[in-house]
Amino acid sequence: MKITTIRDRKPPTNHLELQIFLEFVNYVRRFIPNTAETTGPLTDLLRKGTPFEWEERQQVAFDELIIFLMSPPVLQIADPSRPFEVLTDARDFAIGAVLSQDFGDGLQPIAYEFRKLQAAKRNYPVHGKEMLAIVHALKVWRCYLRGADVTVRTDHKPIHFLRVQSTLNPRQIRWLDFLESNFHYTIAYK
């Protein structure tokens, strides 16, 4: 697809045009940081029974996505001989992560992963959302991360102590079991 085709694209005027645009964005989402958060105002229009009313927040999201789509990807190719770093973050409505490696000149991104949270998961406490972000990222990138040294960085300090807590709920036990049985990782506070 040529840059001019993307640059000159008009905003969607109905649900179908918006779906087509978002399908294309979804295809390249691993190259776009904060995809779930950026597309949020657009995906909200696709909820059942929601009238198609294009407002300023949809236009801002659309413009941001167009800029990302016109920018060249700056992702590196993963080197299995180097350790990996996963930087995670959880917000009220989305979780995200960046897979990186240090190639001698600082950390370079390899992939991005972002997901909008379903209604039930929005009710998780902060540490639950942060842990969900870690588990989701490691599941998505397990083909890179199994058998490799992985440092997971989170901005939520209590996650660092999850392994030594005396009481865990069933979900936390399941998540820890998944992490412990599949990855050689350390959790660090960023």
Q: Where are the domains of the chain?
A: 3-70, 84-189
Which pLDDT tens digit goes with each residue over 114-172?
A: 888 999 999 998 889 999 999 999 999 999 999 999 999 988 777 766 777 778 889 98
- The pTM assigned to this predicted structure is 0.69
| 183: three-class secondary structure by DSSP | coil
pLDDT at 1: 45
Give one DSSP letter per residue of 140-162, joined into a string. HTHHHHTTSEEEEEES-GGGGGG
Instruction: Check pLDDT > 70 for residue 174.
Output: yes
Q: What's the pLDDT score for residue 161? A: 67
Domain 84-189 belongs to what architecture?
2-Layer Sandwich (3.30)
